[in-house]
Amino acid sequence: MSEEKLTAPEHKLNNRDIWRMFMRLNTMRITLNYETLQGVGFMRAIAPALAKIYPDKKDLSEAMKRHLVFYNSHVNFDAVILGLSAAMEETTTPDEKDGINPLKTGLMGPLAGLGDSLIKFTWLPIVGSIGASIAFGGSIFGPILMFILYNVINMGARYYAVSFGYKKGIDFLNNNEQNDVIQRISTMANVVGLMVVGALISTVIKVKTPLKIVVHSNVSNKVGGNVISLQTMFDKIMPGLLSLLVTVLVYYILKKTNGKHAAMLIIAMMVVVVGLTYFKIL
């Protein structure tokens, strides 16, 4: 396919069409089903663009059927694929149409992984923990800040990505240097996320023990003369030591079970903690 056509200023779809695709992209996940996952949603989202690209009814029907196939990716990157598919529908000759679905299928896996790691496992936890740490202090500003920070990326990136995918998508994917940028951002996001996670361990998880040790004092020979609180001792070694130990323990349990039994683990922890509280250990 020729790149000149794509980078040329005149596109068949104007901003209003891109806005319509964006609006339909927002409701794409609603039609998720076990047969084609988001296939119906993708067809619905791209339909207005197809209507504009194919004036002939028979071609339009063909194109709609072409997009009614198995599809699943991450919502913020659906936008790129959606824009890219629209660009390909517009620029390819009838013989090249077979290449559209393989491209979609080839992209949806890697982009879903990138979307999950960037948005779900980095950005959302960062804004969530900033919001939560403010909210723990009793301020409504926490959730408001989280809402704004989260949705600037969530909604903003989604709209921008449709237009970006449509106008520049193919250039972008062919350019290795650009792909490198994604990898680099992903690495950096990972590091930021991990440091925030480390900070959360000490701020959010509070494990304290009321246990005390009675020390016999040899000098005065009095029983119960010195009572040492275990918690004070732990705090002297490292503040939040118990929180760190509990988290590492939970981490290894989850890793052994592949994280599938998180809910069971939570219930088990409740039972254990209630039990420990009964014996005055926690």
Among residue numbers 43 through 82, which ones bind other proteins (CB under 8 A)?
43-44, 47-48, 50-51, 57-58, 60-61, 64-65, 68, 72, 75
Interface residue with other proteins among 110, 136, 228, 233 (CB under 8 A) is 136
- Which bin fits 280, alpha (ψ -120 to 50), beta or left (φ > 0)? left
- What is the per-residue binding string for other proteins in 216-245, x denoting contact by CB under 8 A? ----------------------xxx--xx-
Build a one-symbol-per-residue string for 11-50: x at contacts with other proteins by CB under 8 A, - elsewhere.
Answer: ---------------xxxxxxxxxxxx-xxx-xx--xx-x
Q: Applying CB under 8 A, which part among 78-86, 87-95, 126-134, 159-167 lies near other proteins?
A: 126-134
- Among 2, 151, 178, 226, which residue interacts with other proteins (rule: CB under 8 A)? 151
| Position among 143, 159, 164, 211 found at the interface with other proteins (CB under 8 A) | 143
Taking alpha carbons only, the member of 259, 237, 238 closest to residue 250 is 259
Binding segment toward other proteins, per CB under 8 A, in 3-11, 124-132, 165-173, 213-221 = 124-132
Instruction: List the one residue from 152, 195, 215, 233 that touches other proteins (CB under 8 A).
Output: 195
Task: Quote the least distance from Cβ 234 to other proteins, whole Å.
Answer: 12
Decide if residue 149 touches other proteins (CB under 8 A): no
Q: Which stretch binds other proteins (CB under 8 A): 5-13, 89-97, 214-222, 248-256?
A: 248-256
- Rounded Cα distance, 192 and 126, in Å: 8
Q: Minimal distance in Å, beta carbon 200 to other proteins?
A: 6
Question: Binding other proteins by CB under 8 A: which of 92, 101, 154, 231?
Answer: 154
The footprint of other proteins on residues 90-109 (CB under 8 A) is none
CA dihedral sign, ordered 238, 242, 246, 249: positive
Q: Rounded to whole angstroms, what are the CA distances from 108 to 42, 78, 118, 176?
A: 12, 8, 15, 18
Using CB under 8 A as the binding criterion, the count of chain residues that bind other proteins stands at: 108
Stretch that binds other proteins, among 1-9, 78-86, 87-95, 121-129 (CB under 8 A): 121-129
- Nearest CB to other proteins, comparing residues 38 and 163: 38
Question: In the chain, where does DSSP find H-type helix?
Answer: 3-7, 15-26, 39-53, 57-67, 75-91, 100-115, 124-136, 141-174, 176-204, 230-237, 241-256, 262-278
| Helix axis angle, 141-174 to 75-91, nearest 10° | 30
6 binds other proteins (CB under 8 A): no
Does residue 217 sit in helix, strand or coil? coil
Q: What is the rounded distance in angstroms from the CA atom of residue 130 to the CA atom of residue 147?
A: 11
Token readout for 112 is 């879903």
**117, 189 Cβ separation under 8 angstroms:** yes
Q: What is the DSSP string of 108-122?
A: HHHHHHHHIIIIIII
Min dist. Cβ of residue 223 to other proteins (A): 29
